[in-house]
Structure 1
């Protein structure tokens, strides 16, 4: 018996390492080209509205697919298949965009980006299955490292390739990562489908959709994401280009945001939650991000732009980590994919609204006006935080508290 337990632990450890590598490749796949899409689209002659809609189309796709993917993966218990389908779509679409570069293929590429990104909720569930229910939180924490590390790898490799060969060659980095990840998935086991004794209850979906707490939280996440995607991923690279940045520097600019975002997320639990509580952490993040976004168009050089990008990343790390914490708290395993699928679907609207809104504002008014309004939206979100979320007595005494005590019942 002891020998079998050791063997199972060893096998699970191999599965864990392999799946973590696949998760890293997943983020390389969806980020290798991100910092360069807007610059490449501008080189092709597209205006700000088209550029914004190309970047934002993945958000619409994610909005429409994340919840169904979460629900169907819970119902069918074929999670690995969904992951493989997402990777395959990426391989096909970005290969097409590389060989036939135009607005249509860029739209198709970003559509595939949204589809592939929608499968991330399944990665979380599968990875947690290698640890067991009691260590699920530990699994999520470990897998959380894959996002910043994989994204930094993706943008760095993409930047080197784009700087050497041209922007569209970063598409091939994503394709190569997806191919490797797809091959590796055939050596994984979906332990999350083993021993499933509880049949998926469709009432779970109704329960989650009618839960007003998740809607309030999702609106906050949507605002945080829309101002970030609209600036960091869409038009801030163009600000950098105007200041003389090459693809390597654009990639470094994106990585600056990612690194500081990861730092802020790590400090939330270790420092900010204990010192000022979740609500004040969220308010600090929203205000900081908003103020910095307003200042970005006025950056006089790349040094100043990098500094502003770092502060924006810190603010985003605070606000987005808090709302994600609220969304996933105390959710039974059978409901996890559906809950997270709904949450991610709702806030995916920000991935579309951000680039499109700021693109229209820039085209009609000016870049500084677009950034001003996006920054103001971030700051204004604190009103929703103050009116919809209240500190519990436990938070006031720096103790852990449940979500139900934080959200006010709205009449």
Structure 2
């Protein structure tokens, strides 16, 4: 199997069904909303239950741990049965149960367990991504991924903004239970999601190794893992903790996260035109450097407004690099192997989602929050150097 071959399948010539694509995107909007509505308040809520910074890191990292373990098996299983939609439905079930677990957790340790369940939901994103991209020919993959990233970003933006307000007005449990309610609605709609079934394939170990060892896929996966490390160690874990020290309330935490996600969402729509005008490599390097800078300056902020502006810069950089990397991961891959390739890519970057907050929490407990931010910024800069040297 060549990963550089162009697909000759008939679906390249099938006109885009806008209604079906729109329905899939709306369901995906609910999917991400269910998992992000309580994200801004989660680290501070855990601190209120007595969690150390290390435990906060474990809590945020548990989400990535489940994905690190499950995303590749989900991709392989999805290719094996030639189905994507059942995984989307299973994702809604896990998202709802995880949010309910967060609402009922009596201790920080139980929060970690519940957040791990939500990570199981996110692991099904492998199949959902391939379900959606199956409606597009390979030549439109960057555009398709850009639109998918835009809708995902809008969902996260709306959910985090609303979640902060819900928590401020009705309490943290209300934000968690909102996630359960959204997941229930999404589960009902998921049974009506259209699906273009792929040919069932049984990937052999040698094929799996061959896919994982492709230099271009391996390179973009490692760079993505470094950017995810920094993003989850900062924006989703310890920037909220730092903002709490500055006096932020729950609504402020939602606004702070929303500033990052708004810029990220805008950036997803600019990847294709910027890459066409400037070339993919300059866009990638510049976006990673912007992300690194936005993290390195956090310890110097003494007010929420400039902190939000720097977070917006980081979100813009993250939106550019993650969209470009995801498109590169599946471009040119045989449609019957895309879920496996996407599983490899997402499993590798999930390592960053897990290791980032966990190690940053340990660093923060020993060297302070500033040390955690500097270490994260340094790793993103390493990713920029890798992107600069990549072919």
* TM-score of the alignment, normalized to the shorter chain, above 0.5: yes
The equivalent of 2:55 in structure 1 is 50
Tell me by how many angstroms 1:154 deviates.
1.4
From 262, 283, 287, give the equivalent of 1:285: 287
Pick 1 or 2: higher relative contact order, CA cutoff 8 A, min separation 6: 2
Tell me by how many angstroms 1:292 deviates.
2.1
Counterparts of 1:183 and 1:13, CA distance in 2: 21
TM-score, with length taken from structure 2: 0.90
From 158, 167, 175, give the equivalent of 1:170: 175
Q: Tell me, yes or no, if the aligned pair for 2:268 and 2:320 is still in contact at 8 Å.
A: yes
**SS in structure 1 of the partner of residue 339 of structure 2:** helix
1:27-38 aligned within 5 A: 27-38=32-43
- Provide closer, same or farther for how the CA distance between residues 339 and 165 of structure 1 changes in structure 2, counting only shifts above 3 A: same
Counterparts of 1:329 and 1:78, CA distance in 2: 20
Unaligned runs of 5+ in 2: 1-13
Counterparts of 1:143 and 1:312, CA distance in 2: 20
- Provide closer, same or farther for how the CA distance between residues 101 and 370 of structure 1 changes in structure 2, counting only shifts above 3 A: same
**Number of positions where the alignment pairs a residue of Structure 1 with one of Structure 2:** 377
Counterparts of 1:128 and 1:239, CA distance in 2: 38
From 216, 234, 239, give the equivalent of 1:236: 239
The equivalent of 1:182 in structure 2 is 187
The equivalent of 1:156 in structure 2 is 161
Counterparts of 2:360 and 2:139, CA distance in 1: 44
- Provide closer, same or farther for how the CA distance between residues 107 and 13 of structure 1 changes in structure 2, counting only shifts above 3 A: same
Tell me by how many angstroms 1:184 deviates.
0.9
The equivalent of 1:119 in structure 2 is 124
Counterparts of 2:143 and 2:297, CA distance in 1: 38
The equivalent of 1:5 in structure 2 is none
Tell me by how many angstroms 1:158 deviates.
1.2
Counterparts of 1:303 and 1:214, CA distance in 2: 38
Counterparts of 1:385 and 1:132, CA distance in 2: 27
Unaligned runs of 5+ in 1: 1-7, 390-405, 407-411
Q: Tell me, yes or no, if the aligned pair for 2:62 and 2:115 is still in contact at 8 Å.
A: yes
TM-score, with length taken from structure 1: 0.85
Tell me by how many angstroms 1:28 deviates.
0.4
Q: Tell me, yes or no, if the aligned pair for 2:145 and 2:327 is still in contact at 8 Å.
A: no
1:294-373 aligned within 5 A: 294-373=296-375
Counterparts of 1:235 and 1:80, CA distance in 2: 35
Deviations for 1:223-263, whole angstroms, at most 9, x for unmatched residues?
Answer: 11111110000010112112222111111111111111122
The equivalent of 1:210 in structure 2 is 213
